[in-house]
Amino acid sequence: MARRDKVAIYGAGGFAREVAWLLSSVDASEAYEFIGFVEDGAVGGRHLNGKPVFSWERFSDTHRDSVVAIGVGSPQLREQLATKCSMFGFAFPTLIHDSVAMSDLVEIGTGSIVCCGTILTVNIDIGSHVHINLDCTIGHDVRIGDFATLSPGVHVSGNVHIGRSAFIGTGATIVNGTASAPLIIGDGTVIAAGACVTKSTEAQCLYAGVPAELKKRYLERK
């Protein structure tokens, strides 16, 4: 039997627990041994769903042979944690639930997580540390930038480009662009839950409603 990599999940919230469930799926469990959660400031002896919760200091001292899945929903925080882990030499697994339906024409970057029930069609390019949550659908010729988050039940039609660190809320729909004029979700933009995006958005903004309209401009978030 091939050696399984040890994997810890950075984070101890709801999504981190869902990633732990993903790791119990057949394909993931054959590749990885889940050793526990990592949480900044964690107190020794704490357990979550039967697994230990390590402080960062303890984990980085005693489990340098592990890989790290980052289980936090915030794109900005996820990027900070990925940077810290990389500085300590940790690698990142790419996790895809057994139930995901996808063609051979899908590229998925390092550290990305694709959850149960998602459908990925053809000619899709997904960056690094992207989270695609439960029951999402992604159509043809879609690009998703590094650290973007798709919440549960997001539907992305064809010829859409989603920017780096964008956050798409639960149940949002993004209609199709065209090959010559893709619909673009700007870097760092938030699409509110239930919104329907019918045209390209600016970067670093909040859009909500049906059809989605600009509600707020953010200062660039770190």
- Residues taking part in catalysis: 140
Give the C-alpha separation, 167 to 153, whole Å: 13
In angstroms and rounded to an integer, the radius of gyration of the C-alpha atoms of the chain is 18
Look at residues 188, 175, 183, 194 and name the one whose alpha carbon lies nearest to residue 217.
Answer: 188
Helical residues (DSSP H) of the chain, grouped into ranges: 14-23, 26-31, 56-62, 75-87
10, amino acid identity: Y
Q: In what helix (H) or strand (E) does residue 7 lie, and over which residues does it extend?
A: strand 5-10
3-class secondary structure per residue, 123-146: CEEECCCCEECCCCEECCCCEECC
